[in-house]
Amino acid sequence: MGAFTNPFRPGAGHQPPYLAGRHRETDQFKKLLQQETILENLVLTGLRGVGKTVLLESFKPVALEEGWLWIGMDINESSSFSEENLAIRLCADLSVITKSIKISSQTRWEPGFTSQEKVEDQFLSFELLQRLYQKTPGLPLDKLKALLQTCWEVLNRSEQFKGIVFAYDEAQNLSDHSEQGRYPLSLLLDAFQSLQKMGLPLMLALSGLPTLFPKLVESRTFSERMFRIVFVESLSVEDSREAILKPIEEADAVKLSEESVAQIIHMSKGYPYFIQYICREVYDAFMIRWDKGEQASVPVAEIEEKLDTDFFAGRCARTTDRQRELLSVIAGLQNCDEEFTVQEIVKNSRQQLEKPFSSSSLVNQMLAALAKQGLVFKNRHGKYSFAVPLLGTYIRRQLARK
């Protein structure tokens, strides 16, 4: 056997060596692709590192196989996202699939161009799409609808497609900013809802943190009915086993015992990022032992320490002392890995802290600040959860080390 390199890939959006599980989620997506008239769009949502990006990516070949076109993009964190930016992004992304299509002067949206312009030999390029957007009269919504409708008509004329999937990752970044008079999210939702009503098979597939769906509903209440929410969660024990073992089937040097596998599942709680991270460390540790001809076991303490520095410490770096006290109270709640309430925090702080948190409104304010740092989030029922998986165990480890 040739040299076998460490196959595990902890990282944001890195395709894993083996994509474990996710059959239920993929089936749900396939069902959405069967719609003749689009009544439901997809929201993929879950905690950091749970595997949303790679899952969304894995839907692309599924969609293509079913005869759909796919436009994928990543909405980077950007507070300055405006209607105009959204349109430019769409033009750029659409042009990737439309730029090889020649348009003729008979196309019915020709009035959008000035009469002197010779359009026969033009391709549906980025510049042309942008011009079409700008020259369509009316509001941004009219412009965007005209753009999407035109693209669909031209694409559908050139070849028979079932529709187009517009896949946006990190879609929680696509917010309205009423104080700046910017409503890109409302615009996107209005445009797709209206075009879908007209029967156009243009489907949204949005993926993002748990704040995504509440944001959609806040922007447009009809979002509630417009989206099928698929929660991406940690992997089951069976699927975790596969994520751990499949990539090293061929590696002679690293044979994991049942005990080691159980240990990794226990440490990672089935969260894909942690599986990749821990397995990469285990692989390296086992290789060193194997070279020396020794038996190896999972170096739990070392890995936890490394994970704490590499992953958790950075995420908690901006917290104040008092915020850390609040986090430690939450980590002391039995239900900290699920949902918790402000009242529970207040109550527990009386037992746990010398200076307890006496007022709910103060705790609420502090939780809002922690939410801004991406550590907790508030769900639709007003309860809170940790936004980072296994944050509770990290905080408890920190407290134990003190």
Ligand X SMILES: Nc1ncnc2c1ncn2[C@@H]1O[C@H](COP(=O)(O)OP(=O)(O)OP(=O)(O)O)[C@@H](O)[C@H]1O
Q: Is residue 16 within the footprint of ligand X (CB under 6 A)?
A: yes
Q: Interface with ligand X includes 13 (CB under 6 A)?
A: yes
**Residues 228-257, interacting with ligand X (CB under 6 A):** 243
Other beta carbons less than 10 A from residue 229's beta carbon: 15
Name the DSSP letter for residue 309: I
Q: Considering the complex, what minimum distance in angstroms separates the CB of residue 46 from ligand X? A: 6
Can you read off the two tokens belonging to residue 76? Answer: 């980077």
Tokens of 70: 């796919």
Shortest distance (Å) from residue 265 CB to ligand X: 13
Distance CA 43, CA 41 (A): 7
Asked if 19 touches ligand X (CB under 6 A), the answer is yes
Q: According to the binding rule CB under 6 A, does residue 276 interact with ligand X? A: yes
Kindly give the pairing relationship between strand 41-45 and strand 227-231: parallel
Residues 4, 6, 11, 107: which binds ligand X (CB under 6 A)? 11
Neighbouring residues of 257: CB distance < 8 A, sequence distance ≥ 6: none
**Residue number with the smallest Cβ distance to ligand X:** 51
Stretch that binds ligand X, among 19-27, 62-70, 283-291, 360-368 (CB under 6 A): 19-27
How many residues of this chain interact with ligand X, rule: CB under 6 A?
Answer: 25
Phi-psi region of 333 (alpha: psi -120 to 50; beta: other; left: phi over 0): beta
**Minimum gap (Å) between residue 208 Cβ and Mg ion:** 8
What is the residue whose two structure tokens read 């692989």? 283
CB 349 to ligand X: min, Å: 30
Nearer to ligand X by C-beta: 77 or 294?
77
Q: In whole angstroms, what is the distance from residue 264 CA to residue 244 CA?
A: 8
Among 34, 72, 80, smallest CA distance to 52 is for 72
Site for ligand X in 166-185 (CB under 6 A): none
| Joined tokens for residue 224 | 């509630």
Which of Mg ion, ligand X, none binds 16 (CB below 5-8 Å, type-dependent)? ligand X
Q: Is 22 in the site for ligand X (CB under 6 A)?
A: yes
Instruction: Name the minimum Å distance from CB 380 to ligand X.
Output: 19
The binding site for Mg ion (CB under 5 A) comprises 53
CA–CA separation, 197 and 80 (whole Å): 30
List the single partner that 378 binds among ligand X, Mg ion, none, CB under 5 to 8 Å by kind: none
The closest of 157, 143, 148, 147 to 102, measured between CA atoms, is 157
Q: Which CB atom, from 124 or from 212, has the smaller least distance to ligand X?
A: 212
C-alpha to C-alpha distance for 146 and 136, rounded to whole angstroms:
7
Query: Residue 1 CB, nearest distance to Mg ion (Å)?
Result: 34
* Minimum distance, C-beta of residue 169 to ligand X, in the bound complex (Å): 7
Positions in 27-66 near ligand X (CB under 6 A): 46, 48-54
Beta strands in 179-315 (DSSP E): 202-208, 227-231
C-alpha count within 13 angstroms, C-beta hemisphere, residue 270:
13
Instruction: Give me the residues that bind ligand X (CB under 6 A), please.
Output: 9-16, 19-22, 46, 48-54, 243, 272-273, 275-276
